[in-house]
Amino acid sequence: MSALRVNKPGPLSLLQDGGRFGWQHLGVSPAGPMDIQAAAWANRLLGNPWGSAVLEIALGGVELVVEEDAWVALAGADMPITVDDEPRRNWSRFHVQSGQYLRIGFARSGQRAYLAIDGGIQAEAVLGSVACQLREGLGGLDGEGRKLAEGDCLLGRPGGMIRGASVPWPWLPDYQAPQLIRAVIGGDAASFADEQARAFFEQPWQLSPQSDRMGARLQGEPIEAPQQQWSQGVVSGAIQVPPDGQPIVLMADRQTMGGYPVLGWVHPLDLGRLAQCAAHQVMRFIPMSLEDAQAELREFYQFFGR
């Protein structure tokens, strides 16, 4: 059994897996990782199955002491990584030995990194998932939706790794570059005035500091949304436009029903890039077809073995 003991949990470190599905008709959020690509790469580096539990580390500031030898992998935000003060590469897997200290510093770019352990982090599932949802009090190491705390122990299962490895450079994202976020038009888009729908794509937006795992709030020149008198089911990536004209992109901990008009949906693979944006970071949205989004998503799932 691999084991890492928590000395410093960081500001917000949460256990996440592939998500909690099949309960949205009862209002239960799916949760899961904010950046599915980074989480998927962390698991792939260790040969873990799709959706194995990982630790989502927001901003950094985590220190773990190794109690049992383990292979670990990290992917995501650019956070300095050291083992007993010796640097390790991000987007890589490496071995840690009993008594060593694994330290993950604060992010230099990006917002979230994912720590995987060989065999996946072990925890008791709640409603079919260990994904931690703070608002609903579900998942996590204790099953009650609690974030990582000092003294917690992350347990894995010994795998068959024999050497280190890293993600090839063409697949490494640049979180500092201007972000272009792809979106599929749909939902209530036909009810928006043409110039208002175009305005969403023609202007830059900034990420509001009030953004969280539930929704990415955008700041820019307001767009006028049509009136809507009913609620409807919503999914991750939905672009809602409330009366103040400042769009909200629904993220992993979203609600399951919403009453604001929906202009479209952010490409599921670009939600991770949005989740890695810092407060006030500038981004633009570009339209893409549903068919292209579906084809790319199928290729992604096939590659990662979903």
CA dist 96 and 102 (Å) reads: 8
Q: What is the pLDDT of residues 73-112, one digit of tens each?
A: 999 999 999 999 999 999 999 999 999 999 999 999 999 9
**β-bridge partners, 8:** 63
Residue 198: its pLDDT value, please? 92
Fold type of domain 179-304: Cyclophilin (2.40.100)
Tell me the pTM.
0.95
Across the range 34-62, mean pLDDT stands at 96
Convert the pLDDT of each residue in 121-148 to its tens digit: 999 999 999 999 999 999 999 999 999 9
H-type helices in the chain, by residue range?
Answer: 36-46, 194-202, 271-275, 290-304
pLDDT of 229 above 90: no
Side chain identity, residue 117: I
The pLDDT of residue 160 is 73
Assess whether pLDDT exceeds 80 at residue 1. no
CB atoms within 10 A of CB 193: 12
- Cα separation of 30 and 253, whole Å? 7
pLDDT value of residue 278: 95
Per-residue pLDDT tens for 159-197? 777 788 999 988 899 988 878 999 999 999 999 999 999
Any idea where the domains of the chain sit in the sequence? 2-171, 179-304
Rounded mean pLDDT of the chain?
94
Helices (H), 130-211: 194-202
d(CA 46, CA 266): 29
CB under 8 Å to 272, separation ≥6 — which residues?
34, 35, 36, 37, 38
Pairing of strands 282-287, 179-185: parallel
Helix, strand or coil, per DSSP, at residue 3? strand
Contact between residue 113 and residue 66 where contact means Cβ atoms under 8 Å apart: no
Does the pLDDT of residue 153 top 90, yes or no? yes
Kindly state the average pLDDT of the residues 264-291: 96
Give pLDDT tens digits for 234-273.
Answer: 999 999 999 999 999 999 999 999 889 999 999 999 999 9
